[in-house]
Each structure stands twice: as C-alpha cells, then as structure tokens.
Structure 1
Amino acid sequence: MFIWENTMQQQVRKSPFGLSFKAAALATLLACTALGAGSALAQAKPKIKLAYAKCAHCMSMAMVPALAQNVEIEGINFTAGSDALTALVSKSVDIAQVTYLAYVSGLDKGFDLVAVSGQVNGGSEMLVGKDSKLGADDWAGLKKLIAQYKAEGKPFRIAASRGNAQDLHMRGELAGHGIDPSKDVQFINIPNPSDHAAALARGEVELICSVEPFASQIRMTGVGKHFAYPYDQAAGRLTNLIVTRSDVIKEHPAEVRETVAAVVKLVDGLQKDKQGWINSIVKGTGLDAKIATEALNNAYPDYRMYRTQTKAIAAMMKDLRYVSSDVSALAEKNMDYSFLMSVTGKPKTELGY
C-alpha cells in the first residue's frame, strides 16, 4: 500500500494536472459531504418553541410535544400566562398558551397576536380563610362584611395573580354582584399562584381567587374553604387560548397547523383519560396526586374558540378599566379558525365562531 501511495504521489507531482486533480478530488469529497448533510437536514423535522403556564389546565400542554407528528415542538414552562405572552411577543417562542385576558390585553397594547385554538377552560375558584363565617355563595354576607370593614376603616383585601384569567373572572363576578373591584375592596397582587395558600394562611388577605391545582390545595390542606366559582360573568369559564404571531403564520403555516393538530389530539385525549394530565400536574407543580385529581373537577378541555364571548370579554375588560380601549372588533378579527378547520374537518360554525 505504501509503494502504491508513493507511486501515486510521484505521478501527481510529475503531472502538470496534479494540483487540479487534488483540488477536484477535495471538491468532490466536500460536495458529497454537503449532499449528505443536506439530506440529513431535509429529513429533520421543523422546530417550534411553545410556551405554556404553570397551572392545572395549562400543565397538560407538557404532553403536546409527544403528540406532534411532523414538527418538533419544544415546550417551555413559565410561571404565568403573562410570562408566556411576553416570550411570544419578544419572539423568544413561536406559539404560546395564554388566557383570553392576556390575548385582549395584548391587543390593547398593540401586540401582534393571532388566536388559533382553544385548549382548556375553567380552573378558577374564590376562597376564604378557614375561620371565615362566610358560607358558599353568600354574596349578601360578603357585601355586609365589606361594608363592616369600611366602617372600621380597614381595607377588605382580595388577592389574585394580576393578568391571569382568575383575576378577570373575579373582577367580573364582583361587579356583577354590586361590588366595585377598584373602590370597595383592596386588590393584592400575588404573581405566583403557588404562593396563594401561604398568603391566605397568614391572614394577609380575606378572600382569594386562585387557579387550579392551587385552589384545591387550599381546600384540601384546610387553609381555606370554597366561596364561589366566578363564572357568572361575560367570560363564563373561558380560560385558555393558543396564540401566535402573524409572521409565524406567514413563514411557518405548516408548523402552526401541526401544533394545532397536536393540541386537538391533546384535548380529545384529556376528555377520555386524565391520568397523563394528572401526572403532568404532579411533575410540573410538585403537588400531591390527590390534589391534582381534585383539580380536574374544575377543568374543561375544549379546543373551540368562542367568538361572541371573546368580544364580550373585551368589552368587560374595558368596563373594568383593565384595558384602555375597546378591542372587541380586533379580538374577533384576529381569531384564525383556518387551522382548526383544517385539522378537524369541521366548519367554523362548529368551532365556536
């Protein structure tokens, strides 16, 4: 072999075309390498970054990547939907699970948002401390207690995580019962829902509107007790939306469709078997499986997007001074049903339009 190599080297050195031959051989090798790499890239799935929040109905999004077929989805968990929204508008992620409230408030701020699917609704519960004399749905008693606090010169403190669906549900419910959420009570913002139980236990608030599974945690650990489900307002029990940006739809329509398809699979699966959902809650929050199981009694999987209610939510948010302008028309305009229609084969009239 050494003699053959030596002979070839001598022939190459003697040939006036020796350098050209070497260069051609190298070029051919590089071309083959590039072709192989190109083939590998062609076979690789396109990638999408998906943001979701840390709550019972949100944590099920952790199962979406495994349900995707023609796209590689990287799921990124955030403390709150508002954080997921920030990641989306800053282009750190491509698609995000947020709330209807975040969608409307984002449009009010001028953000480029397009809603493409529903996900899971519900998850809101108003709770009072374990020693409170208020019974379930005792709104007359609550109004009387608030008046008593006013007479004594004390603020009646109500907490939620500002910017999440529970905050909006609570404010709408209070207003519907004749309680002005901006004047009659003092709002306390507790950004991380996992801190709700501790705040109620320490007596830092009189009432709290929490999100599952932390609401169930409060009840099951004896820290507090149920007061009301705040669904008697314009938003009803609508909670989660899957949103993206117009540039993502323009540049990656197939990937958006595949992500929506995975969400639809998720929702269909959640309605049949909740064990995977329970496991995702336990893993994501560290809470007991019994609490996770209880939390799902207040969660309603649904991939439809409700147009009329979304407009009502936008109007209510303007009335509650949550947003500076009425973006109800824009909220309707930016609901893109095409992906749900393509995936499910249903007309938009059957998808919440």
Structure 2
Amino acid sequence: MFKKFIPLVLAAALAIPGAALAQAKPTIKLGFAKCAHCLPMSLTPGLTSEANIEANAFNSGNDVLTALVSKSIDVAQITYLHYITALDRGFDVVAISGQVNGGSEILTAKGIDLKPNDWDGLKKLIAEYKAKDKPFRVAASRGNAQDIHMRGELMLHGIDPNKDIQFINIPNPSDHSAALQRGEVEMLCSVEPFASQIRLSGVGKNFALPYNQAAGNLTNLIVTRSDVIKNDPKGVQATVGAVVKLVDMLKTDRKSWVEVINKYTAMDATVANEALKNAFPDYAMHRKQAQAIAVMMKDLKYISKDVAADVDTHMDYSFLSAVTGKPKTALGY
C-alpha cells in the first residue's frame, strides 16, 4: 500500500510547479473612459498572454483617476490634464505609455453665426453679449482634455476663460448634444465620438479643432502607481506590451475600432468613422509638451502650483523601451 502511495505523491509534486506557474500569471485591473479614443482599451485583454487584464469602462477620465488613486484598479487610461492635476494634488501616479491623441472639437449652437476659426468674430460676439449683460456660455466636461484644450485655445486668442465667458460644466460628454439642442450653451468643446454626433445630426457645427495651444493634440496617457510597479512589474510590462500592440493595430485596423465604439456607445458606423478622422494613435509620452501643459494649467489657475519638474520623476519609460526596443529619446523624452 505504501509503495503504491509513493508514485501518487510524486505525481502530485510534479504537478504543483505547473499549477503554481499558472497561478503566478499576474492580474491587472485596468480602467478606461467611454470616449472614441479610450474605448479600444477594452481590446487589451486579447493582446497579451503574459497577464490577465481585466478591462473596465468608466463614464469619464475623472472616474478612472479616482479609481486608480483609491486602488480599485492598477492601471488607468487618463489624459495629460488628469495626470498634471494628479501631480498638483500629490497623488501617486506614474505615466508608463501614451495611447491615442486628438479627439477634441469646439462646436457652436445652430443659432450662433460664426464661421470656422473666426476668432475675431467670436471676440466681437462675446463683447456683444457683455453689452447686453448676457453671459456667453461655453461648456466642457471639467477635468477632461477637451476642457484644457478649449481654455488654452481661448486664452491663445485673447479670450479670458475665467472672465470673458461663463463656463458650464457638463460632466458626462454624452449630455453635450442635449445641452446645445436645449439652448443651454452657445458653444462647447466636446470629445469624440460625441463631437461628430453633434455635427452630423445638425445640433451644432464645427468652430475649431483646439490644437494650437501648449497641449497641442495630446490627449491620452496610460498611468499606474509606484506600488504597482514595485509589486507587479511583470503585470505592468505585459500591459504596456498590450497597449503598444493596440496602438500599432489602430493605425491600420479601423474596423475593430468602429466596432468597439458601437459596442459601448451604440453610435453607428457613420459617426464612428467620422470620429476617427480626429484620432492619432501614439504610444510615445511627450515629456516636454507635458511640462508645457503644466505651465499652461498653472497660468489658467487650473492647478495651484508649478508641477512641471514633477513630470520628470513621474514618467517611467523603461516598460515602453523594453517593449519597443527604442531608447526613451525616441519615445517622447
């Protein structure tokens, strides 16, 4: 009886290492927002065999950042604006990859008679509203990239976003169209695919793509926390690898991108394809522009202190470099 038992014990012992290796596969909880540029992050679980990525959709980048800081998730897709805001608040965030840029558009309500990029006309119109003691109302989702793009662009053209206009915060971008339709705002800066939906439906019309300010067209960043990097570097590496594969895929495979937009927003292919005209996949992390964004946000009184120097200590290029085989100087440093 004892002799028969020994092979069973050995077999069990030999089986344990394999089971242990399977269990050792890291699990990463990843969060992303519901915008055209962000939604492809839902595809990352199928782009790596080195980790179990659990991808979760949130209504906005603010919600994603909150989840990261509260340790509900391990990796977050947020924006450069969220990143700078987090540094200003002293949060533990480390940027590890870029993702997709662009996606912002300033639109006017149907009754506003302005041609695209007519900034002199806009200043004149704002002055006319002031003369009538009427506020010129401009909306965005505060805390999103579109908010800082819009504010920076206004300031660049001699319009003080804190004094010359009345800012209206509409937290959920899916509500932007209704606000324009109901006449609650004269202008707004929305995110894709909602911007394209507004334009194609005739609810609003294009005024400008706000990419001349310091942030340029920079939008999305992939960030994590220092404790995640310390405790699960393999999981972080696998996630960055999945993001790089995703970005490379998005440059040519618009069909999958359109399908994922439809899945999460129920918008049809016409709107989705229009939205992707304002999308620029890019896994680089643009350090100098991020510092310029920090300076602009301080000038706009969006943050309380200068955090440009903190950008250097809160960007980790090692994972991106390991995946791409490129030095950080070729990855936006």
Does the pair score TM above 0.5?
yes
Aligned residue among 12, 27, 49 for 2:29: 49
Aligned residue among 199, 220, 234 for 2:214: 234
Write the mapping of 1:1-353 to structure 2, written as runs, cut at 5 A.
Answer: 39-44=18-23, 45-353=25-333
Q: Which amino acid aligns with 2:34?
A: K
Q: Which amino acid aligns with 2:130?
A: K
In structure 2, what is the Cα distance between the partners aligned to 1:54 and 1:30? Answer: 52
RMSD after superposition? 1.8
Structure 1 window deviating more from structure 2 (126-135 vs 187-196): it is 126-135
Q: Equivalent residue for 1:12?
A: none
In structure 1, what is the Cα distance between the partners aligned to 2:10 and 2:219? Answer: 53
DSSP-derived class of the 2:188 partner? strand
In structure 2, what is the Cα distance between the partners aligned to 1:274 and 1:186? Answer: 38
Q: Which amino acid aligns with 1:192?
A: N
Q: Which amino acid aligns with 1:172?
A: G
- Structure 2: tracts of 5 or more residues without a match: none
Cα shift at 1:95: 0.3
Cα shift at 1:250: 0.6
Cα shift at 1:36: 5.3
In structure 1, what is the Cα distance between the partners aligned to 2:209 and 2:129? Answer: 23
Q: CA offsets per residue over residues 293-336 of structure 1, 9 Å max, x none? A: 10000000000000110100000000000000000000122111
In structure 1, what is the Cα distance between the partners aligned to 2:19 and 2:34? Answer: 36
In structure 1, what is the Cα distance between the partners aligned to 2:50 and 2:179? Answer: 45
Size of the aligned set, in residue pairs, is 330
Cα shift at 1:41: 3.9
Q: Would the aligned equivalents of 2:102 and 2:280 in 1 still touch at CA under 8 Å?
A: yes
Q: TM-score, normalised by structure 1?
A: 0.90
Cα shift at 1:43: 1.4
Cα shift at 1:130: 1.8
Q: If you compute each CA radius of gyration, which structure gives the higher value, 1 or 2?
A: 1
DSSP-derived class of the 2:302 partner? coil
Q: TM-score, normalised by structure 2?
A: 0.95
Q: Which amino acid aligns with 1:269?
A: M
In structure 2, what is the Cα distance between the partners aligned to 1:208 and 1:33? Answer: 65
Q: Would the aligned equivalents of 2:26 and 2:232 in 1 still touch at CA under 8 Å?
A: no
Cα shift at 1:35: 7.7
Cα shift at 1:40: 2.4
Q: CA offsets per residue over residues 51-75 of structure 1, 9 Å max, x none? A: 0000000011111111012101000
Q: Would the aligned equivalents of 2:107 and 2:206 in 1 still touch at CA under 8 Å?
A: yes
